[in-house]
């Protein structure tokens, strides 16, 4: 299954209110979301049959659509129920879910005021985002050519498909150079995030992470900050310049797919995966497990 193209797999997808065979979940080539980027999505993980922070993901999906000037024609409760329904239909316990909403094919042009809004939700089994053996040692990250845009030029707080164009370009370039990912700066030259994950640094036992004012404030990012504070670990959300990287002891990235992944290098600057990273890795993996009901 892991090597199969996604459009050739077996199974089921929730599509516009109905569960359809996986290979029947199609869109037309003249779909507005494909041509003009009017598409938003989420990435969610299920552990032990329960979707971690489903409500937060669904709320963000609805907000992302609002920022792109369209409304998903399902309530948050309906979307939550649909996510759980497709996970159960697929008979998965540990899986990745991808809700996606887009403008359809009714009009083709920049203006598409009356296009139907579609929603689909797929679920599939997916192992660790990075090679497990390498992940424990810390992944190597390069530097991206492209920068995260000024929020006055793009809806940077939405999880919109179009915003990931430069992420794909940057990740491909990094992989060709032997790196697992790329670190992106923002339009001011400050450290922002990786291509699909937020970044954290550790210095003298305290955490430093870029202020999420020009990129997505990840749900995993928020969870890890909460976990750190529970531990009494100081968290500084602030502007971080690339010349500061050499002053940090540890580095890790976070995301629904990446979870908590140590970093051993950013473009020649080396880090040693250390105690703070390990504590938060362990705490996060404990946090995502389904909570047992009290007897």
Task: For the chain, list the domains and their CATH numbers.
Answer: 6-124 (3.30.470.10), 132-287 (3.20.10.10)
Indicate if the pLDDT at residue 174 is higher than 80: yes
- In the prediction, which pLDDT does 127 show? 66
* Residue 247 Cα distances to 210, 261, 270, 278, 292, angstroms: 15, 20, 10, 20, 42
Give the confidence band of 131 by pLDDT, cuts at 50, 70, 90: low
Give the confidence band of 272 by pLDDT, cuts at 50, 70, 90: very high
Mean pLDDT of 265-291: 94
- In the prediction, which pLDDT does 133 show? 61
- In the prediction, which pLDDT does 128 show? 58
- In the prediction, which pLDDT does 1 show? 45
Residues tagged active-site: 159
- In the prediction, which pLDDT does 252 show? 97
Mean pLDDT of 30-52: 96
Average pLDDT, the chain: 94
* Residue 77 Cα distances to 41, 55, 57, 214, 285, angstroms: 17, 8, 12, 29, 26
């Amino acid at each position: 299954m892991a090597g199969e193209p996604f459009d050739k797999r077996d199974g089921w997808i929730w599509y516009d209110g109905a569960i359809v065979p996986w290979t029947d979940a199609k869109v037309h080539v003249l779909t507005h979301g494909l041509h003009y980027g009017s598409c938003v999505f989420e990435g969610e993980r299920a552990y032990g049959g329960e979707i971690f922070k489903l409500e937060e993901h669904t709320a963000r999906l609805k907000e992302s659509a609002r920022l792109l000037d369209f409304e998903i024609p399902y309530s948050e409760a309906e979307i939550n129920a649909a996510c759980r329904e497709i996970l159960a239909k697929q008979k998965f316990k540990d899986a990745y879910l991808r809700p996606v909403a887009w403008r359809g094919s009714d009009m083709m042009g920049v203006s598409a005021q009356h296009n139907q809004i579609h929603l689909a939700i797929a679920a599939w089994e997916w192992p660790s985002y990075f090679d497990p053996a390498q992940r424990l040692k810390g992944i190597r990250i390069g530097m991206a050519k492209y920068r995260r845009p000024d929020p006055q030029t793009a809806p940077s707080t939405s999880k919109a498909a179009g915003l990931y164009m430069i992420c794909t370009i940057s990740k491909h370039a990094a992989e060709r150079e032997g790196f697992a990912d790329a670190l992106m700066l923002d339009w001011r030259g400050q450290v922002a995030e990786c291509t699909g994950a937020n970044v954290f640094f550790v210095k003298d036992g305290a955490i430093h992470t870029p202020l999420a004012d020009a990129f997505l404030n990840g749900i995993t990012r928020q969870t890890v900050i909460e976990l750190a504070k529970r531990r009494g670990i100081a968290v500084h959300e602030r502007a971080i310049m690339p010349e500061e990287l050499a002053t940090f002891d540890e580095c890790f990235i976070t995301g629904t797919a990446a979870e908590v992944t140590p970093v051993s290098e950013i473009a020649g600057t080396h880090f040693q995966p250390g105690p703070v990273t390990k504590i938060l890795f362990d705490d996060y993996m404990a946090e995502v497990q389904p909570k047992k009901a009290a007897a």
